[in-house]
Amino acid sequence: MSVLSVITKISVQQKNKERFNIFLDEEYAFAVYESTLLKYHLAKGKELDELEIEEILYTDQINKAYTSAVHYLSFRMRTEKEIGEYLREKEYEDFVAKEIVVKLKEQGYLNDKEFAVAYVRTQVNTTQKGRGVIEQELYEKGVDKALVVEALEAEYSQEQELEHAVKLVMKNAPKYKKGAYKVMIQKIESALVRKGYSFDVIKLALEEAQLQEEPSEEWEALTQQAEKVHRKYKSLEGYEYVMKVKSALYRKGFTMDMIDQWLENEERL
C-alpha cells in the first residue's frame, strides 16, 4: 500500500507569480505552474500518493520546459535543433526536449522550412554572403539539406549572388593594390571564398568588375617591396644577392621581367 502525503500549504513564489510552492506534511515538497495546479486540483488537505506526485512533477516539467522554449522563441525564429539544444543546456531530459519540439511543431511555432526561407531572405538583404556560407550556417542550425537547397533556390538568385560578389571585389580591390596585381587578385579570390562564393561566381565577378593592371601602380608596388628586400640582403654581393632578391620578389607575385628591369635600373645586376 502506497504512502499518502497531505498538502498542508500552498504559497505563491515571490520571484515568479506563476509558480506555486507545494508543502506536504508541513514540509516543502515541490513547485508547480498554475496550469498544473488546476489540472490536478491541488488544494490544501488533498492527499497524494507517490505515483500521483511523479505524474504531477512530470507534467510540470513539461510545462516548465514549454514555457522556457516559448520564451526562447519570442526573440526570433528557431530551428528544431536549436530548441532541442537550448532545452538540454537548461538540463531538461532528452525525452522532455523531444516532446516539446513535437508540441511546438504541432502548434506551428517550429517550422524548419519557413525558418530556412526567412533566414536566406534576411542574409541576402542584409549581408553579402555567398551561397556556400549561408548553406553551411543552415546546416549547423540543423536544417535538412533538401530544405536548405529549396530555400536558396527560392530566395537567392544567381543574379543577386553575382551582384554581391562584384560589390565585394570592388570593395576589396583598393585594400590589396599596394602589392603585385597577381597577388591582389589572389587575395580578392581568397576573401570571396571565405564569404562562401564558388570559383565560378568569383571568376564571373572579376570579369564584370573589369579590374585592370595599372603599370605605374604595379611598378610603384614593386619598387617599395624591392627596397625592403634590398635592405634585407644588401650585405650580399653578386650572384647570391641577385638570386635572393629575385626569389623574394617573385614570391610576392611580381613578374621576372619587372624584377630584372628594377635590378637593371638600380644597376644591381
Number of domains the chain is built from: 4
| Domain of residue 258, CATH code | 1.10.10
DSSP 3: P
Same domain, 201 and 247: no
pLDDT at 175: 82
The verdict on 30 and 72 lying in the same domain is: yes
165 shares its domain with 130: no
Residue 256 pLDDT > 50, yes or no?
A: yes
CB atoms within 10 A of CB 62: 18
For residues 152 and 166, membership in a common domain is answered with no
Look up the pTM and report it. 0.72
Contact at 8 Å (CB) between 7 and 20? no
Of 44, 73, 106, the position where a domain reaches its end is 106
> Do residues 35 and 124 share a domain?
no
- Provide the CATH number for the domain around residue 198: 1.10.10.10
> Which domain covers residue 43, as residue numbers?
5-106
Lowest mean pLDDT of 84-88, 197-201, 218-222, 243-247, name the range: 218-222
What local confidence, expressed as pLDDT, does residue 269 receive? Answer: 45
Contact status, residue 86 vs residue 72, Cβ threshold 8 Å: yes
Residue 214 has pLDDT above 60, yes or no: no
Q: How far is CA 115 from CA 12, 72, 81, in A?
A: 38, 15, 12
Together in a domain, 132 and 100: no
| Statement to judge: residues 57 and 91 lie in one domain | yes
Q: Please say whether the beta carbons of 116 and 106 come within 8 A.
A: no
Of 22-26, 77-81, 124-128, 264-268, the one with minimum mean pLDDT is 264-268
Do both 259 and 219 map to the same domain?
yes
Cβ atoms of 165 and 137 within 8 Å: the answer is no
Q: What is the pLDDT of residues 41-63, one digit of tens each?
A: 999 999 999 999 999 999 999 99
- 146 and 89 both lie in a single domain: no
**HSE, side-chain direction, 13 A CA sphere, residue 31:** 12
Residues 164 and 152 reside in one and the same domain: no
- Mean pLDDT, residues 247-266: 77
Looking at the structure, tell me whether residues 164 and 232 fall in a common domain: no
Q: Are residues 23 and 77 in the same domain?
A: yes
Q: What is the mean pLDDT of residues 184-193?
A: 91
Q: Are 99 and 62 in contact (CB under 8 A)?
A: yes
Per-residue pLDDT tens for 118-174? 999 999 999 999 999 999 999 999 999 999 999 999 999 999 999 999 999 989 888
User: Considering 39, 74, 106, which residue would you say is the last residue of a domain?
Assistant: 106
